Structure 1
Amino acid sequence: MAGRIRSGDRHEAIADLHAFLTDFDIDIAPVHDRLARAAMKARIDYGQGFGTRGGLNFGDCFAYALAKQYSAPLLYVGNDFALTDIQSALEP
């Protein structure tokens, strides 16, 4: 997808993205009030620049909030989420 975007073929990149989402049965979650509030709480609890152990950026805070909402583990790399109470998808 990134290669198509860089080469200027954005319409094909969009088609690739739709195919990827369909092939892997990925849903795009809407940001509703409850999720936005949970993401803001995560930002305060684990966000960068809030004097916390966590280092989540704002996008990470939405991933955290969505995982908490669905009681789902989260697949991530690095240590930022490891400093939160979220379960890793790689844990047995």
Structure 2
Amino acid sequence: MEKTCWVPCCMEMAKYLKAHAFIEHTSSIFSETLDPTDERVLRGRRSALSQVGRWLLGKPVTLDELVAFVVVQKMLSTMDNTSISERQEAAMKFCIPS
């Protein structure tokens, strides 16, 4: 059964709302073409990660709690063939505590 997306101003119907929201609304903020030093981009990325944390854990979470969840799920295993480019690494620097 399809439902209307819960993202404000989106009237799309989808069977899997979380997948739709991630694909259509959240992922673009992580584009490598965006300036990783722009405060608006950083705020957008923090907001997107907070939203993903709410979806995954069913409650508001901190970025540290989201990282802990991902680690427990072994999503960051070194055994996979994923590589992170220098540009992607620069885009994620805001996650590292200073």
Q: TM-score, normalised by structure 1?
A: 0.29
Higher percent of residues as strand: 2
Q: Which structure's CA Rg is the greater one? A: 1
